[in-house]
Structure 1
Amino acid sequence: MRQQTVSWAPDNKVIPNNLIPTAVTSAGKKKQQAAKEFIEKALPLKGDKTPPPVLVMDSLNNQNGSLRNALTSAFKALTCRYADDDDDDDDDLLETKVVPSSDRFLPSVIEASADGRTKAPTAGACGATCDIRNSPNRILKAAEKGNMAEFQRLLAADERRMQFRDSRGRQAIHHAASHDRINILEFILSRPNAELRPVDNEGNTPLHSACTTGAAKAIAFFIQHDPEQLECYNKENQSPLHLATQLNKVASLTALCDFKSQIDVEQKSKHGRTALHLACISDHADAALILLRDFGASPKTTCDNGFYPIHEAAKNASANAMRALLEFCESIGIPRAEMMKLFDADGNVPLHSAVHAGDLKAVELCLESGALISTQQHDLSTPVHLACSQGAMDIVKLMFRCQPDQKMGCLTCSDAQNMIPLHCAAMFDHVDLVNFLVDEGASLNATDKEGRSVLLLAAARSAWKTVASVLKLGADLGLQRDNQRRNLLHHIVLSGGSIEEFTLSLNDRLDEFIQLLNERDTYGCTALHYAARNGQLKSIQSLITLGASVNLKNNDNQSPLHFAAMFGRLNTVRHLLDSKKGHLIINEMDGQGKTPLHIASQCGHVRVVHLLLVKGALLHRDHKGRTPLHYAAMNGYNNTMDQLLAVHSHLLDQTDRDGNTALHMAAMKNRSSTAVNLLNLSCKITKNGLDMTPMDYALHCKHSEVAMAMVTHPIRSDEIMTCQVKAYGCLVEGLTAVMPEVMMTVLDRGISKSKMSHDSEEYFVKYSFTSLQNSETADVVPMTDEPLPVMNIMVRYGREELLSHPLSVKYLETKWNAYGMYFHILNLMVYTVFLGFLTLNAVQLMQDNKKRHHGVSGLEVADAFARPSIATLSSMTSVIVLSFVLFNVVKEAFQLIQQRTKYFVDVMNILEWTLYLASGLMALSQLTRTEEKSYQNIVAALAVFLAWFNYLLFLQRFNRVGLYVVMFLEILSTLLRVVMVFSVLIIAFGLSFHILLARVELSLKQPVLDARTGNVTFKAISLSDKGFHSPLVSLIRVGTMMLGEIDFLGTYLRPLRNLENSTWYQIVTATLFLVAFIILMPILLMNLLIGLAVGDIETVRRNAQLKRLTMQVRLHTDLERKLPKKILEAVDRTEMCIYPNQKGTGNIMWRTIKRWFGSPRNNVTSGGGGGANGKNLSKSFTQQIESNINEIQEQLSRQKDKIREISKNLELQLTLVRLLVSKMEIKSEAEELDEGEFNSANLARDTTEQLDGQTDVK
């Protein structure tokens, strides 16, 4: 096997050791040693002047892939390093094999001879060879060095090398420009299609690169040959002028100045900053001076943020640039004082900006230039205010020293918040500056906009060092009040300060401090109120020890105990109750009559409620007569309710002044879990003073959650369903009208399924109809004798989803199978007999008319007398038809008397009256044997048509075909509405064709034979024969044309040949109308009708389903009104069990009758033969969904159990940790704060907002 080696021999170069070790750190520990040995052999020793020997690398080939890749990456880094080296000795560069990958310039493994000298690869060696001198980086080096010969050689070998970029995206022209190599630039310019404006990764052109290094010749070259580069901006929105200024390249600016006529010195970069702004920001004084003096830059140009260059210099502490700017302005006649008065967008002068920067030199320069320390910005703050806010003592002293006459004015000057500089220093706790300002004459009694003195402001901002210092300076405690009349003690408590520390530091003034204990603010609150609200246990103990009263009330008549109960401060409540007057305040009432127990129950603080009950809190009522249980139920605090009822169980059914129980409160506020809890505790369902039950409030407020919880209660749902509601009479009607989704859930509870497998023959579905009908024990619709009251309520409110519910459908199905099917089949059979006799009578009428028309021979008369049965058949059918007509007329008369005006609303009644009248007239004409009259045929045709159409309407009562009949009627009504709308077009075209074609005479005449004389005459042909001779006939003709009967050849095309010259244009005009008619009527209108019929079929189906179910309810209602109660009681069922997997019983004829006239769900829910297999697609899909739902419910139940267990464990661990901390006597800051709401370090909140919220009744 031929040995593989790698060689390189750069003279006098040391390979940095940090390249290889970082590349092999990812190798395993077992491979580290082999890699280390290889690296030690491969790398030249430090200081070694001779090339390393040729190294054998068999060990490299034997390494794993990760180590080999690591070493390869190292060699790639080394190669790039040496390829970019400045070594000009090309003889030392090695020839290496080109690897077929991206590692083209990596020193590859080549063959070596025994003496270590490299040689060209032999035949069969993989890949071609290339010289490292041809590396793409070489052309960049040549451009940097200005090596024209090497540059030309490399470019001649490959023109594409001109486009080569380094890691920063720079081409050869960038490198030549940055190193000022004019010969390279001129050579590039001389080439055809030379590009002088390529950009690197940062968007810099070659001119940008020249400006970054101060290459003056290159700058002049580019401006002379490509002056547009002066307007080019990089990605930072900087032109070459901006870049040179920011980098402080004076040489570049000097070179650019030679072409200042071509440069806009006011061009703006990012944020609208000019080059002068950048020079001032970076404190480049020389660059700023060149811009001002040589370029003519304006010192009064603002950026987009409204800052002048002088402001930028002051804000960035650029003292040198500011000095140069001021000196130049002074030289051109702009006084320094004028520059110091320039305002930026925020109203700051340069002195304000310098103070913001905190640079003492810049401030001193502004002061020397005439800036006044009393200058106010937009918020009326002076530089002294800003310096005091920052605590810049040296700047304040400098300003006072430089302008002593302005000192007192500044000390008393107020800003927009009416604060003097002493306030600014105090609220940020700059205690040394506070002492200095007081020594200089600042007043301690000055107040801000909120009436806070320096002492109160420091206390409100937790500046405790300043508070102590101000007290030592002699601040008067008795006069310190803000606009809300809060004293020092109020602010100490609100800011979370330690009262104990203050009392220790006020030994000689403790009496003054004690006088503040019971003082009240504008809300009537003392310091103890706020300490109780925030749960500051240490402050509460100190206040009580100092003598603070625990029974003082605020403006809402609330004591500190009320506050503690409101925010759940358990330990605070305990401290207050353990005080000397604790027994006196436990049952005190506030302005609304609420005791602390009321408030704790209202806020749901269980532990506080328990403590108050243990301490002897009494169950008083507030001014509305409500107990604590009312408030706990109103806000849904079940644990609090359990705590109250565990001690006082008689609270359960107590009412307030309006007669509301706790269940009423829960229903008003939609607290479903609370309602369930109260129902579990066997609370009473009563009416309040307004005669309203809890369900009345749920319906009135549309609180579906609490309604759902009450009607689905596992124990008391039947009791709730039978309760009466004020607005609707019964709960079922209220739920149907307002909350159909809740009523849907009630119906769902009426369907229960066995727990057996869905494929088992013993699997059953149980239907309970107790929610759909009245029973002996309870009435869901009380005080009514109307049959099917619940179903009629659903019909009245049009609740299709309730009518089509499986329970409702099964209920109607039981009614149908019990008696409805038999009565309607009997009715259909009777009507079928009537229809047969009516049809036979009409046919006999036509035969009788035929005989009368042709005459009757003597033999026919003799035959009729010989066989009288044939002669009297017509009379018999007429008598039968007339009898049926009389019977139905009497029936319809009774209905008219019962329904009155509602009778005429139903179109079917009008149709039946027309049918009976036409049938009676036809039968009477047969009996009277009158001479033939035209009306007999008319009434006969009308009677037959209406009879058969009514037969179609009879079929809609039967489930199998009823849906299709109702859908047909729905589509028919849609068609009639559309035709009525578009009848305007029919009238328009009908009248147009009548006007154009009614009086057109053709020149062609046709022979006419006179029947009397036998003479032949010629008569002119008229287009009136085509159906347009009258307006009415023309409208009918247009209707037939819509169906395709246009007759274009006979009516429009042929008459054009035979018309007189004076009327031909009428046919042309009629033809144009015909084209418009074809587009609008047969095409658009007919397609519209088809689209309505097909596209709206789902809506039609839903409407048909609702109408069919509505019709069934009305039919069953009418039948039950007429049937005896004994029959109804015999067939009524309260529940039904269906075994869908069991085969049906009975003979084939009975199953066939039930299949055609029974329920359409028979094959799924009943035991008929159609549902014997029980394995259809719908059933399988339903079973799968139910199985998935059950599985999800089980998983959720298990997860809930796990969460409860985790919660219990966490509480136990927390208890153990607390016990451990107490045993180890570990103290923390948290011990100073009580538990409860708003337990945070920031206790100084907006008290006004919180107190206003406390007075609102939830």
Structure 2
Amino acid sequence: MAMIHDSIVKEDVVEHKLGFYPRIPADSIFTRENVTARTKLRAHLNTPLHLATMENKPNSIALLLSMGCRLSYNNLDMSAIDYAIYYKFPEAALAMVTHEQRAKEVMALRSDRHPCVTLALIAYMPRVFEAVQDKCITKANCKKDSKSFYIKYSFDALCPQLKMEDGNNVRRKSENVPKSQNIPLPALNIKYSFKFYQRSKLEVDALRLALNDPKYRPEPLCVINAMVAHGRVELLAHPLSQKYLQMKWHSYGKYFHLANLLFYCIFLIFVTVYTYLLMGSSENYSHTKKAAKCNLSDPMTFDRENKTEKNNVFNSDFESKVAMYTSTVAILAYNAICLIREAYNVKQQKWHYLVDPSNLVSWLLYISSTLMVIPTICNYFEEIQFSAASITVFLSWFELLLLLQRFDQVGIYVVMFLEILQTLIKVLMVFSILIIAFGMAFYILLSKVGPDETGHHLSFNSIPMSLMRTFAMMLGELDFVGTYVQPYYKSETDILLPFPMPTFFILGIFMVLMPILLMNLLIGLAVGDIESVRRNAQLKRLAMQVVLHTELERKLPAILLEKVDKDELIEYPNNKKCKLGFLDLILRKWFCNPFTDDAGLDLVLESSEDYITAELEKQKRKLRDISLVLEQQHTLVRLIVQKMEIKTEADDVDEGVSPGDTRVVPRWSSPRIRKKLRTASSFNK
């Protein structure tokens, strides 16, 4: 009981000093009655840090953390940082997560409401998390033009801590993150620490042991994906995030993605060569068949010509067949590998796999390419082979366009194209009602109608053809003279205009609604979407890189990721850079590597504008503190004057009227103004 009494007395003294109980005298804190009252009030187990956070007192929070206040949970299983996030107090949260000594402990707190402080800050307080990122960047205490000047990136406050489960008990544990090795990037002598963008091997082993699952793999890049999910462009564009993505790109991203692109380009070459040879083989086949029919009357002549032709084209025909069979084997092998990959993606993504339209394009490509090459194995030609070949060629080149969207310079245009395509499809689905309406009207007016079946317009002879012709007319292909004017004046031709008045009336309405109104609406929507895509270009570019690395880490084995991942890097900006490799040179010249070193250094090194902004912020903070101190002193002096009944010299008046008794005379009631107004009124009369 004595220990509880001493603990409560100490906390009451702290709370009284911090201003939580201003009405209670300091002497009354130590009485047993007050201790009992405090015990009842503290039944919810709120510590002084909880109270300071609820009152949004950043100075008190910093003082409590410096004094060694414990980071505990109340009976609602909420810590102080949980209350700061719940009540949206950025000052209180900033004081805790940027504290010099206790910031790591605060970021390691976990509760049922906020299992991860890092993810909660990204979702609700991005500015606070940006300050945490700024605090993680430290620079050498020397001149910036010195060769020993370095920039160190520490991610200690960014890693989502593990929530350990051992049986039925949930243990909150702040693990000490081990120091990693100094592994520089290949093109720069830089050192970064990526511990808090990814879990270390010790943390993953501990989580596997706690979950009793030796094959458990944590969700890759959960912090970066949270930034993408909440649209935090400023956090993704931060140097800390940029260097982390750059490390991923240099470690394994560029190798796997370029290998995938090269592998697909080989498949595309085989598809193109096969379709070219297919058309040549069909021409030879039709020519031979036609010659056989023509020379049935003269068998001897046909045999001599056939032998000569076979001798001339034997070599070229043999080479083309070898090339076709080689392309067939390559296409079937590629489809088999891709089917295994797609099955793995279905197992991982489940229903999300069906939502992605690019997967539908891939499956159509696999099916059409298989139908294209199967007749070659059976050694005969069919009409379905040529139809499948046309679809395969189109989809294969379109798939190449989709693969290029992962690269920075060309990818943003592909993303813009797909966004506009999606918008246009939505609009056309709505206004397809007008296309059907006009198509059916033109079908009735211009097809074979009447007892004599007049009309005979081939473009409107059937309902599907009429709809296609109406859609073409919407794009500007009206053919007004040939379709409407000549049949109206020249009745001797086969093409007639059976109902001229309704036809011209419907045509006039069509000209106003479709080519003018609808097309301008579509153009306006397209231009508006382009502007919105340009505004969000930075987020889209970074999101594509995050998606790329996330998909790769889900598919790659954990052993390989542990070997290629780097934990920390240190950058020496003033040292001479290493020469770029051949692969990096090609990427920068052709695809424009999304992570240029110069851009990264510009983000890190402070410019004059950033320096001025930081200094102005410091001055504002100092002025705010000075004004607060002056206000407190003014209040204190006023209370002293009232208590001691002190009168100032301004209250004493030697002679004349007291300043408080003076009456302000209106300006317009003075004798001089009245005289001027009287003169002006007499002049007007």
Structure 1 length-normalised TM: 0.41
Counterpart of 1:625? 39
- Partner residue, 2:107: 721
1:843 aligns with 2:276: yes
Q: Distance in 1 between matches of 2:638 and 2:534?
A: 63
Aligned 8 A contact 1:821 1:1157 in 2: no
1:93-172 paired onto structure 2 within 5 Å: none
- In 2, distance between residues paired with 1:1024 and 1:674? 90
| Aligned twin of 1:768 | 154
The Cα shift of 1:686 comes to 1.3
Matched ranges for 1:627-1026 at <5 A: 656-752=42-138, 766-773=152-159, 777-778=176-177, 783=207, 785-855=218-288, 857-862=306-311, 868-930=318-380, 932-999=381-448, 1023-1026=455-458
Aligned residues of 2:277 and 2:320 also touching (Cα < 8 A) = no
Once superposed, what is the RMSD of the aligned Cα atoms? 4.2
Q: Give the C-alpha shift of residue 803 in structure 1.
A: 3.4
| Counterpart secondary structure, 1:942 | helix
Compare the two structures and name the one with the higher helix fraction: 2
Q: 1:1166 Cα shift?
A: 4.6
Specify the SS of the correspondent of 2:457.
helix
User: Amino acid of the residue matched to residue 350 of structure 2?
Assistant: R
Change (3 A) 1:1164 1:1102: same
Alignment CA distance shift 1:1072-1:1214 (3 Å): closer
TM-superposed deviation, 1:658: 2.0
Provide the residue aligned with 1:164 in structure 2. Answer: none
For residue 705 of structure 1, report the CA deviation from its aligned partner.
Answer: 3.0
Q: Does 1:1162 align with 2:596?
A: yes
Q: Which amino acid aligns with 1:874?
A: M
Residue of structure 1 in register with 2:674 after alignment: none
Matches within 5 A, 1:466-545: none
Question: Which residue of structure 2 lines up, in the alignment, with residue 1086 of structure 1?
Answer: 519
Matched, 1:1186 2:619: no
Answer yes or no: is the 8 Å Cα contact 2:50–2:83 preserved in 1. yes
Judge conservation of contact 2:242–2:600 (CA < 8 Å) in 1.
no
Instruction: Provide the residue aligned with 1:1030 in structure 2.
Output: 462
The number of aligned residues is 572
Moved more, 833-842 or 1119-1128: 1119-1128
Measured in 2, the distance between the counterparts of 1:1129 and 1:913 equals 33
Unaligned stretches of 5+ residues in structure 1: 1-586, 588-595, 628-655, 1003-1019, 1168-1173, 1231-1258
Counterpart CA distance in 2 for 1:1102 and 1:1122 is: 32
Is 1:1046 the equivalent of 2:432?
Answer: no
SS across alignment from 1:683? coil
Quick one: which amino acid aligns to residue 70 of structure 2? K
In the alignment, the residues of structure 2 paired with residue 981 and residue 759 of structure 1 have an alpha-carbon distance, to the nearest angstrom, of 62
Deviations 1:106-150 (A, max 9, x none): xxxxxxxxxxxxxxxxxxxxxxxxxxxxxxxxxxxxxxxxxxxxx
Which range moved further: 617-626 or 899-908?
617-626
| Structure 1 contact 685–694 (Cα < 8 Å) conserved | yes
* Structure 1 counterpart of 2:585, from 1152, 1176, 1187: 1152
**Cα 1:1158–1:662, aligned 2, differ >3 Å: closer, same or farther?**
farther
Note the C-alpha offset of 1:1036: 0.7
For residue 1050 of structure 1, report the CA deviation from its aligned partner: 0.9
Distance 1:875 1:607, change over 3 A: closer
Report which stretch shifted further, 1043-1052 or 767-776: 767-776
Matches of residues 300-315 of structure 1 in structure 2 within 5 Å? Answer: none
Contact 1:722 1:731 in 2 (8 A): yes
CA 1:806 to 1:978, structure 2 compared with 1: closer, same or farther past 3 Å?
farther
Give 1:354-393 correspondences, 5 Å limit: none
Larger displacement relative to structure 2 (767-776 or 1115-1124)? 767-776
- Give how far 1:1042 is off: 1.7
Give me the identity figure in percent: 39
SS in 2 for 1:893: helix
1:1065-1084, Cα deviation, whole Å (9 max, x unpaired): 82232222222222222222
What's the offset of the Cα at 1:1043? 1.7
Alpha-carbon shift at residue 1189 of structure 1 (Å): 1.6
How has the CA–CA distance of structure 1 residues 1059 and 826 changed in structure 2, closer, same or farther, with 3 Å as cutoff? same
1:1095 aligns with 2:537: no
Structure 1 residues 724 and 608, CA gap change in structure 2 (3 angstroms): closer
Whether contact under 8 Å (1:769, 1:1134) holds in the other structure is: no
Aligned to 1:231: none
Preserved contact between residue 816 and residue 1158 of structure 1 (Cα < 8 Å): no
Structure 2 partner of 1:85: none
For residues 764 and 1082 of structure 1, do their structure 2 counterparts lie closer, same or farther at Cα, with a shift above 3 Å needed? Answer: farther
Provide the residue aligned with 1:1056 in structure 2. 488
2: distance between equivalents of 1:961 and 1:670? 48
Cα deviation per residue 1:860-915 (whole Å; 9 max; x = unaligned)?
44456667444322111111111111111122122223333332222222211111
Shift of 1:941: 0.9
SS in 1 for 2:477: coil
RCO (CA 8 Å, sep 6+): is it higher in 1 or 2?
Answer: 2
Following superposition, the deviation at residue 769 of structure 1 comes to 3.5
Q: C-alpha distance in 1, partners of 2:139/2:13?
A: 48
2:445 and 2:498 in contact (8 A); partners too: no
**Distance change (3 Å), C-alpha of 1:959 and 1:712:** same
Q: Tell me the secondary structure at the aligned position of residue 810 of structure 1.
A: helix
Q: In structure 2, the residue corresponding to 1:1160 is in which secondary structure?
A: coil
Q: In 1, Cα distance between the equivalents of 2:544 and 2:408?
A: 11
Q: How does 1:14-29 map to 2 (within 5 A)?
A: none
**Of 546, 556, 567, the match for 1:1123:** 556
| Cα drift, residue 1097 of structure 1 | 2.4
Distance between the aligned counterparts of 2:558 and 2:310, measured in 1? Answer: 58
String of CA shifts for 1:140-192, please: whole Å, max 9, x gaps: xxxxxxxxxxxxxxxxxxxxxxxxxxxxxxxxxxxxxxxxxxxxxxxxxxxxx
On the 8 A contact 2:447/2:455 being kept in 1, the answer is yes
Q: After TM superposition, give the deviation of residue 766 of structure 1 in Å.
A: 4.3
* Pairwise CA distance, 1:1164: 3.2
Report the Cα distance in structure 2 between the residues aligned to 1:601 and 1:1146, rounded to whole angstroms: 61
Secondary structure of the 1:682 match is: coil
Change (3 A) 1:935 1:872: same
- Following the alignment from structure 1 to structure 2, what is the Cα–Cα distance between the partners of residues 602 and 677? 9
CA distance in structure 1 between the partners assigned to 2:441 and 2:69 by the alignment: 80
Q: Give distance in 2, aligned partners of 1:747 and 1:1025.
A: 70
8 Å Cα contact 1:1138/1:1165 also seen in 2 = no
One-letter code of the match for 2:176? T
Q: How does 1:123-272 map to 2 (within 5 A)?
A: none
> For 1:897 and 1:905, how far apart are their aligned partners in 2?
14
For 1:1141 and 1:623, the matched residues in 2 are separated by 64
- The residue identity in structure 2 corresponding to 1:935 is I
Structure 2: state its 5+ residue gaps: 6-11, 162-174, 178-194, 208-216, 290-305, 649-685
Moved more, 675-684 or 827-836: 675-684
Residues 294-330 of structure 1: CA distance to partner in whole angstroms, max 9, x if unpaired? xxxxxxxxxxxxxxxxxxxxxxxxxxxxxxxxxxxxx
